[in-house]
Amino acid sequence: MKLILLFALILSTNAYAQDGDEHNNENGQEQHHKAEKHGDDHEHEGGMHGHGHEDDEDESGDSHGHGGGHGHEGGKHGDGMHGHDHEDDENGDSHGHGGGHGHEGGMHGGGHGMDNIKQYFEPLPASIIDEEKNAALIKLGKILYMDPRLSVNDKISCNSCHGLNNYGVDNEPTSPGHEGKRGGRNSPTTMNAALHIAQFWDGRASDVEAQALGPILNPVEMGMPTKGAVVQKIQAIDEYQVLFAEAFSESKYPFNYNNIGKAIGAFERTLLTPSRFDDFLNGDEDALNKSEKKGLKKFMRMGCANCHNGVAIGGNSYKKIGLVEPYETEDMGRYEVTGLESDKKVFKVPSLRNITKTAPYFHDGSVETLDEAIQLMAKHQLGRDHVGHGMVRDIKAFLGSLTGKDAE
């Protein structure tokens, strides 16, 4: 089992090394690379401040006078995090935002008491790919994504493990692929994945275009023997003659392995799932109910938002699992990519969009419920051994507001 996984890893890593950089300027891909990298800016280096609030359990709603613990308030303002923040002017309640953010509270804010929310989060953009200009490419990508003929025995498509009608996952701890074989990791959702700094739990593929080329050749996923075999098989299907010609109209030889990745990647860039939380970030204060708002505050105060932040509420940094309290796992995560000692057990911080729908959790799918995931996070990432039911309930309520509205 381990050997197979290792083999798969090596194989796919190689595939990416060869293919990953092939994205030239066609179809405006370059621009999207940039867009996707912007996640970097949202790294809240601060990391760990924020835990140590022992009052998080309070059910009193708005809390005042937290000043001391919220050391990050002042610091974060004025370091560029505010670039997109002009909406502030509209909240009648935001006082003293100029310059240094004199009041540490952030929690005093007249109405909702969440002045600092935009330091952490950003609403989904309307789009990250020109869908009109790339219509033919996206159409091809979707058909490829759904097509089991991309697998060696015509049984498994991307959609088998990343169901479009199922929030981009299969709800299995690990996924049955070719001949029922399973890798060692849980299938993350393809929804909003294009926004992440990189793909896979360990970030070993640079973007969705590069990522898409891996599973097709992976012996425990779609099991195709070689790139050539994939291209040959697809090229022999009439339907694809037209689709590829349309999608790559400026190219004489539209059939090549990289173009499969380009098309699937373009389609994946359309998989954004705007949620009520986005409405909230865009100024609709009623988009979240009371317990969701309470959960949001706790999510920020407790320190969850130090890692799960930005436009995907995660997906924009790498962090160790067991940062504060060691976590038991054999998966060395990013260490297998970089070979750096400091990358042992380091994983891409997952996006929490649609998280209530994508159980089971963690890189190996070993955590069945969201309650448990929240508790484990509090303990291992923040050193909070004891979080009460109220806390878990509220945070979970907030996380529910991250579910895509279209499918809700």
- The residues assigned a catalytic role are 221
The conformational region for residue 281 under phi > 0 = left, psi -120 to 50 = alpha, else beta, is alpha
CB of 382 to ligand HEC, least distance (A): 5
Binding string, residues 129-168; x marks residues near ligand HEC by CB under 6 A: ----------------x----------x-x-xxx------
CB of 163 to ligand HEC, least distance (A): 11
Among 76, 101, 185, 353, binds ligand HEC (CB under 6 A): 185
User: Between residues 107 and 217, which has the closer beta carbon with respect to ligand HEC?
Assistant: 217
Q: Which two tokens stand for residue 344?
A: 């042992």
CB of 113 to ligand HEC, least distance (A): 19
User: 16 to each of 111, 148, 223, how far by Cα in Å?
Assistant: 49, 22, 16
Separation between Cα atoms, residue 63 and residue 106, nearest integer Å: 10
When asked if residue 273 is in the footprint of ligand HEC (CB under 6 A), the reply is no
Beta bridge partners of 310: 121
User: Between residues 119 and 211, which has the closer beta carbon with respect to ligand HEC?
Assistant: 211
Among 381, 394, 397, 402, binds ligand HEC (CB under 6 A): 381
**CA 226-151-158 angle, 5° bins:** 115
User: Between residues 97 and 390, which has the closer beta carbon with respect to ligand HEC?
Assistant: 390
Separation between Cα atoms, residue 388 and residue 22, nearest integer Å: 50
CB of 135 to ligand HEC, least distance (A): 19
Which residues 360-379 are close enough to bind ligand HEC by CB under 6 A?
Answer: 361-363, 370, 373-374, 377-378
Which residues 275-334 are close enough to bind ligand HEC by CB under 6 A?
Answer: 302-304, 306-308, 319, 321, 323
CB of 44 to ligand HEC, least distance (A): 10
Burial class (CB in 10 A: 0-12, 13-18, 19+), 284: exposed
- Which sign does the torsion angle of CA 346, 12, 27, 129 carry? negative
Among 200, 240, 248, 257, binds ligand HEC (CB under 6 A): 200
Binding residues (CB under 6 A) for ligand HEC: these are 145, 156, 158, 160-162, 175, 177, 183, 185, 187-188, 190, 193, 196, 199-201, 208, 211-212, 215-216, 221-222, 264, 302-304, 306-308, 319, 321, 323, 347, 349-350, 352, 355, 358, 361-363, 370, 373-374, 377-378, 381-382, 395
